[in-house]
Amino acid sequence: MPADDVITQPTVPDVHPLPTDTPALAPAQPSSKARYRGLIWLVAAGFFMQALDSTIVNTAVPSIANALDVTPLSMRTALTSYVLTLAIFIPMSPWLCDRFGTRKVYGGAILVFALGSLLCGIAQTLPQLVASRIVQGLGGAALMPVGRYVLVRSIDRRDFVSSMSTVATFGLLGSVFGPLLGGAIVEYTHWRLIFLLNVPVSLVGLWLNKREMPDFRPDRANPFDTLGFVLFAGTSALALLMAETLGGHGQPLWIAACAVGALALGALYVRHSRRVAYPVSDLSLLKIRSVWVALAGNLFTRLGVSGMYLLLVLFLQIGCGWSPLVAGMMMVPQALGSISVKPFIHRLLAHFGYRRLLLGNTILVSGVLCSFALLDTDTPTWIIALFVYVYGAVMSVQYTSMNTLAYVDVDVKQASMASSMASTAQYLSMSFGIALATLLMAGFLGTSDKHPYVWAFRWSVITMGLITLAASWIFSRLRDTREPKVASAAG
């Protein structure tokens, strides 16, 4: 039976009758989620740190730009450099785990992440900040894929979605507390503390890693695909450089050269990956329908939504004149909306299936994005909060469904590669999404003299909503496998 036709159900062991002289039944074994509670907390802490650092800068962008004597939109490089580094180096995580074991890799990632945070905290110029963010990305590149991989290896399939929902909730809290904490720090202390806070948190993470992280490692590590890694990294870097150059109104010949170079290296990688036994990203997994739909849908969805919070912060702070703290507090309704629907997502998946839920919810996300164009400088605060709450709710359904779809049809041997590819697609699309959002904002700024940031925000979110709508067609390619298979996989 083709792997992309059904969602694999958890294996149920054979049940043997008890001997006649057995005095009593053995005590029930705790669920895998209960047995690995400490591990779930550790992985959740990693997700929290990464999400916090991906968003905490957003609210502080105007203040950091002023301190470093650059324009707010030019700060996109400090944002995209971090997530692009994640995307480029995440494919190394499966090989690193095979070579050194999950415990050493995860602990080393936390240590490098702490070092990058310290360097960000003492940066004096934008280039220094960008370089320090790259160091942060080197450490953060292993946190999410290794965490997901360990959970896939440790948690029973029936508990996987609920465990990932727990982990994703902490990632969500990090993404919400990031703007709020960033605004409070900028308003009452100094922006450098934004990065320095990661150092003590990382020390706690190292302690938890030593106690809770299992050390998965095969007897023999596969060779690392160095050439494939170079081709993939070059493709990603040139593509983002092209987007950055477009945003900076660069020379057409340079933009064209970046585009041609990215296409050439990408084509070389596709050819190369088919000829090696252990490619850095195994494109053969794309033959599984749920995998390629999850990756492509993730790409287009995040391309449309990743820059939303940066644009909202610029709209509130520069367009509406809000303080960094108040603008950061506007992210709290997003968390409330997201958390409020978390307990129901696995039931929605069981009832509707991945195809119907993702198809309908992606259309809903697109509509909510476009509706932000109705906001103005005199819009009441409670209405803006309501918009953000609804957006948080629909995105919670979207993220949890997309993030688990890539694993429902893969076996344990493919889990590490699937995790790596899913995380790579996520962060690569985030980097391009942020670049696209700032490019749109910069392009629409010159089209109106009255409230330019408000005008640019409106047309930017409409464009981003239409891009997100394209992902609904991708999710429609899924086959409708609902009860009982999805219910089993969804826990």
- What whole-number distance in Å separates Cα of residue 234 and Cα of residue 215? 32
- For the cut 60, the answer to whether the pLDDT of residue 392 exceeds it is yes
> Which residues contact residue 46 at a Cβ distance below 8 angstroms, ignoring those fewer than 6 apart?
106, 109, 110, 143, 144, 147, 205
Domain boundaries, the chain: 37-216+280-490, 225-279
Per-residue pLDDT of 94-132, as tens digits, reads: 778 888 888 889 889 889 999 998 999 888 898 999 999
- What whole-number distance in Å separates Cα of residue 365 and Cα of residue 400? 14
Calculate mean pLDDT across residues 155-160: 69
Per-residue pLDDT of 411-437, as tens digits, reads: 767 776 777 777 777 778 888 888 888
Per-residue pLDDT of 20-43, as tens digits, reads: 444 444 444 455 555 667 788 888
Cβ-contact 461, 315 below 8 angstroms:
no
In terms of C-beta density within 10 A (0-12 exposed, 13-18 middle, 19 or more buried), how is residue 383 classed? exposed
- For the cut 50, the answer to whether the pLDDT of residue 65 exceeds it is yes
Which pLDDT belongs to residue 1? 37
> Which residues contact residue 40 at a Cβ distance below 8 angstroms, ignoring those fewer than 6 apart?
33, 151, 155, 163, 166, 167
- What whole-number distance in Å separates Cα of residue 271 and Cα of residue 95? 21
> Which residues contact residue 435 at a Cβ distance below 8 angstroms, ignoring those fewer than 6 apart?
76, 80, 240, 243, 244, 247, 307
- Other CB atoms within 10 A of residue 109 CB: 28
> Which residues contact residue 449 at a Cβ distance below 8 angstroms, ignoring those fewer than 6 apart?
none
Q: What are phi and psi of 483, to 5 degrees?
A: -55, 140
Burial 48-84 (b: 16+ CB within 10 A, else e): bbbbbbbbbbbbbbbbbbeebebebbbbbbbbbbbbb
Cβ-contact 88, 236 below 8 angstroms:
yes
Of 322-326, 355-359, 366-370, 486-490, the poorest mean pLDDT is in 486-490
Calculate mean pLDDT across residues 86-93: 79
The full length of the chain comes to: 491
Which pLDDT belongs to residue 481? 53
- What whole-number distance in Å separates Cα of residue 383 and Cα of residue 370? 15
Per-residue pLDDT of 330-353, as tens digits, reads: 878 887 888 888 888 888 888 888
Instruction: Tell how far CA 326 is from the center of its chain.
Output: 25
Calculate mean pLDDT across residues 366-395: 93
The residue to which tokens 């950055």 are assigned: 244
- Other CB atoms within 10 A of residue 439 CB: 20
Cβ-contact 362, 297 below 8 angstroms:
yes
Per-residue pLDDT of 159-208, as tens digits, reads: 666 777 777 777 767 776 777 788 888 888 888 888 888 888 888 888 88
Calculate mean pLDDT across residues 47-59: 76
Cis (ω within 30 of 0) for the bond into 484?
yes
- CA distances from residue 329 to 180, 239, 317, 387 in whole angstroms, order as listed: 5, 34, 12, 14
Closest by alpha carbon to 290, among 4, 2, 1? 4
Which pLDDT belongs to residue 486? 39
Closest by alpha carbon to 40, among 174, 162, 202? 162
- What whole-number distance in Å separates Cα of residue 361 and Cα of residue 349? 12
Confidence label for 369 from pLDDT (cuts 50, 70 and 90): very high
Per-residue pLDDT of 442-479, as tens digits, reads: 888 866 667 788 888 999 999 999 999 988 899 888 87
Which pLDDT belongs to residue 464? 93
Confidence label for 394 from pLDDT (cuts 50, 70 and 90): very high
Closest by alpha carbon to 205, among 154, 143, 119, 146? 143
Calculate mean pLDDT across residues 372-399: 92
- What whole-number distance in Å separates Cα of residue 419 and Cα of residue 422? 5
- For the cut 80, the answer to whether the pLDDT of residue 267 exceeds it is yes
Q: Per the confidence metrics, is the pTM higher than 0.75? A: no
Assigned superfamily of 37-216+280-490:
MFS general substrate transporter like domains (1.20.1250.20)
